[in-house]
């Protein structure tokens, strides 16, 4: 955000710290130092020079402001950074800094190092949120409420089931973290055009050594192969979408006319004393749609040409940070929001009882269908439902009147339906706690 006012809504301080100029510079210096050590161990540069570089750059600080002009000129921060690093070293060591490397090697390794930290942070928040939801689902596994399909009251479910279904995609996304993480652990070491021509034939040795120094896995140069970053964007986008779904439900449930949730906190109005706006849920919905829009750009950013594609790469610089921050902010709001909502079982019961308990129409029709052809059963229930609505009486009573002395065991079936929800809740909660 250009505008600081909205940072508390759309920002994420922790993620932003990793994405700051300062953190980027620090990570790139770390990479230059590791490169010197790696090249020394592969016999490409003198060992003592590598040591001088490694030690000499250990505590150096390069201010972003000093690199802006150079970045604007070159389109990349590395030439300016390397000049600054060289200036801080004795000339004979300066000579060996950034030996045979290309800007992208430095930036991409710096990026994946920082992404690992960001992903760890997102993972830990997701873990926390999942446990909040598991506890909530568990606690209300049998609290009846009306399920809604296509915006209409459908059949009874439980509040626990709804919460467990908010959690369901989050469990799937948790399962995908190891693969995303593993993917991002790829060393970048290709030199100018990705063939390590300046250090040939030592390219493979340097690459292996650099991977080891940085705690990454060996890899062919991936200058133009951005699949691992696309995977990360996709994971973030799907997560943010899942949080937006949850937020959409919560916003509906917080509406006064539905009233099935209560919210602690919430935003006030500048003119209406009666209102509490579900600000965090709204922000989550905003971010869900926002990050969806960014996925199109993230996918374009995968489309590189030749050995390095300026526009595609720069697209990545613009989009990836916003996806990460949007995801982080949405997770933070979700954790807060879930901590602040609680179900209103009276309102849930009242909505379930609307139109004489029309939500039980399906149950009634299946109970009846044990005693008559199904088409007939459905017709009878439809008739009963309109009688119940008109005369403000119970659907079940209306059905019983029309059905005669059939033993419908409706109450038993109703409990069974609750048990059906609870069974699915239990499975999902178990998965969350595994």
6 binds a copy of itself (CB under 8 A): yes
Note whether 271 binds a copy of itself by CB under 8 A.
yes
Which stretch, 47-55, 118-126, 401-409, 416-424, contacts a copy of itself (CB under 8 A)? 416-424
- Binders of a copy of itself among residues 290 to 309 (CB under 8 A) are 290-297, 299-300, 302-309
Find, among 307, 246, 308, 251, the residue nearest to 279 by Cα: 251
Closest approach of a copy of itself to the CB of residue 373, in Å: 5
Rg of the chain's alpha carbons, rounded to an integer? Answer: 30
Catalytic annotation present for 245 = no
H/E stretch holding 370 reads none
Q: Is the dihedral of CA 151, 154, 159, 160 positive or negative?
A: negative
- Of residues 146 through 165, those in contact with a copy of itself by CB under 8 A are 147-158, 161-162, 164-165
Q: Does residue 225 belong to the site contacting a copy of itself (CB under 8 A)?
A: yes
Asked if 46 is part of the footprint of a copy of itself (rule: CB under 8 A), the reply reads no
330-359 positions binding a copy of itself, by CB under 8 A = 351, 354-355, 358-359
With vertex at residue 110, the alpha carbon angle to CA 107 and CA 116, rounded to the nearest 5 degrees, is 135
How far apart are CB 215 and a copy of itself at their closest, in Å?
A: 21
The site string for a copy of itself over 112-151 (x = CB under 8 A, - otherwise) reads: -----------------------------------xxxxx
Shortest distance (Å) from residue 150 CB to a copy of itself: 4
In degrees to the nearest 10, what's the CA dihedral of 73, 77, 81, 82? Answer: -90
Q: Does 59 bind a copy of itself (CB under 8 A)?
A: no
Residue 255 within binding range of a copy of itself, rule CB under 8 A:
yes
121 flagged as catalytic:
no
Contact by Cβ (8 Å): 236, 324: yes
CA distance 286 to 274: 24
Q: Does 434 bind a copy of itself (CB under 8 A)?
A: no
Q: Say which of 269, 289, 342, 374 is annotated catalytic.
A: 269
By CB under 8 A, the count of residues binding a copy of itself is 179
Q: Are the beta carbons of 282 and 330 closer than 8 angstroms?
A: no
Examine residue 268 and tell whether it contacts a copy of itself (CB under 8 A): yes
Gap between the Cα atoms of 211 and 293, Å rounded? 34
Whether the Cβ atoms of residue 96 and residue 45 lie closer than 8 Å to each other: yes
Write the CB contacts of 51 (distance below 8 Å, at least 6 apart in sequence): 40
Residue 87 binds a copy of itself (CB under 8 A): no
Based on the shown chain and the rule CB under 8 A, indicate whether residue 409 belongs to the binding site for a copy of itself.
no
Is the separation of the CB atoms in 326 and 236 below 8 Å? yes
Smallest distance from a copy of itself to CB 131, Å: 18
Q: Binding of a copy of itself at residue 67 (CB under 8 A)?
A: yes
Q: Which of 31, 337, 417, 432 binds a copy of itself (CB under 8 A)?
A: 417
Q: What track of x and - describes contact with a copy of itself for positions 379 through 408 (by CB under 8 A)?
A: --xx--x-----------------------
Q: Which of 262, 317, 393, 410 binds a copy of itself (CB under 8 A)?
A: 317
Smallest distance from a copy of itself to CB 334, Å: 14
CA distance 187 to 215: 9
Instruction: Tell which one of 215, 227, 390, 401 touches a copy of itself (CB under 8 A).
Output: 227
Buried b (16+ CB within 10 A) or exposed e, 226-244: bebbbebbbbbbbbbbbbb
Point out the catalytic residue in the list 148, 176, 262, 308: 308
264 is an interface residue for a copy of itself by CB under 8 A: no
Instruction: Determine the Cα–Cα distance for residues 82 and 55; give it in Å rounded to an integer.
Output: 16
With contact defined as beta carbons under 8 Å apart, do 232 and 186 qualify? no
Buried/exposed code over 103-117 (b: 16+ C-beta within 10 A; e: otherwise): bbbbbbbbbbbbbbe
* Residues taking part in catalysis: 269, 308
């Amino acid at each position: 955000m250009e505008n600081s006012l909205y940072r508390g809504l759309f920002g994420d301080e922790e993620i932003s710290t990793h994405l700051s100029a300062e953190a980027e510079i620090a990570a790139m210096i770390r990479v230059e130092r590791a490169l010197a050590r790696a090249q020394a161990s592969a016999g490409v540069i003198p060992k003592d020079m590598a040591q001088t570089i490694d030690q000499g750059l250990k505590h150096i600080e390069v201010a972003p402001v000093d690199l802006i002009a150079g970045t604007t000129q070159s389109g990349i921060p590395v030439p300016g950074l390397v000049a600054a690093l060289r200036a801080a070293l004795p000339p004979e060591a300066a000579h060996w800094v950034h030996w045979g490397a290309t800007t992208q090697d430095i930036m991409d390794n710096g990026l994946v190092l920082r992404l690992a930290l960001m992903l760890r942070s997102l993972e830990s928040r997701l873990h926390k949120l999942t446990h909040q939801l598991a506890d909530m689902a568990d606690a209300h596994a049998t609290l009846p409420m009306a399920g809604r399909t296509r915006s209409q009251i459908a059949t009874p479910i439980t509040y626990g089931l709804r919460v467990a279904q908010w959690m369901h995609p989050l469990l799937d996304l948790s399962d995908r973290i190891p693969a995303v993480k593993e993917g991002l652990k790829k060393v970048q070491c290709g030199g100018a055009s990705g063939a390590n021509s300046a250090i040939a034939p030592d390219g493979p040795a340097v690459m292996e050594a650099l991977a080891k120094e940085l705690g990454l896995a060996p890899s062919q140069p991936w200058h133009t192969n951005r699949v691992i970053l696309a995977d990360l964007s996709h994971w973030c986008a799907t997560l943010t979408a899942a949080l937006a779904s949850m937020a959409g439900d919560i916003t509906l449930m917080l509406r006064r006319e539905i009233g099935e949730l209560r919210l602690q906190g919430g935003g006030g109005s500048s003119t209406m004393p009666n209102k509490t706006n579900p600000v965090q849920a709204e922000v989550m919905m905003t971010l869900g749609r926002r990050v969806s829009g960014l996925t199109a750009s993230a996918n374009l950013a995968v489309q590189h040409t030749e050995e390095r594609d300026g526009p595609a790469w720069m697209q990545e610089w613009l989009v990836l940070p916003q996806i990460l921050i949007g995801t982080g902010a949405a997770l933070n709001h979700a954790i807060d929001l879930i901590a602040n909502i609680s179900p209103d079982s009276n309102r849930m019961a009242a909505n379930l009882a609307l139109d004489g308990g029309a939500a039980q129409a399906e149950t009634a029709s299946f109970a009846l269908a044990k005693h008559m052809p199904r088409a007939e059963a459905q017709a009878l229930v439809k008739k009963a439902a309109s009688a119940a609505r008109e005369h403000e009486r119970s659907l079940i009573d209306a059905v019983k009147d029309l059905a005669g002395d059939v033993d419908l065991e409706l109450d038993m079936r109703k409990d069974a339906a609750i048990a059906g929800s609870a069974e699915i809740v239990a499975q999902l909660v178990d998965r969350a706690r595994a």
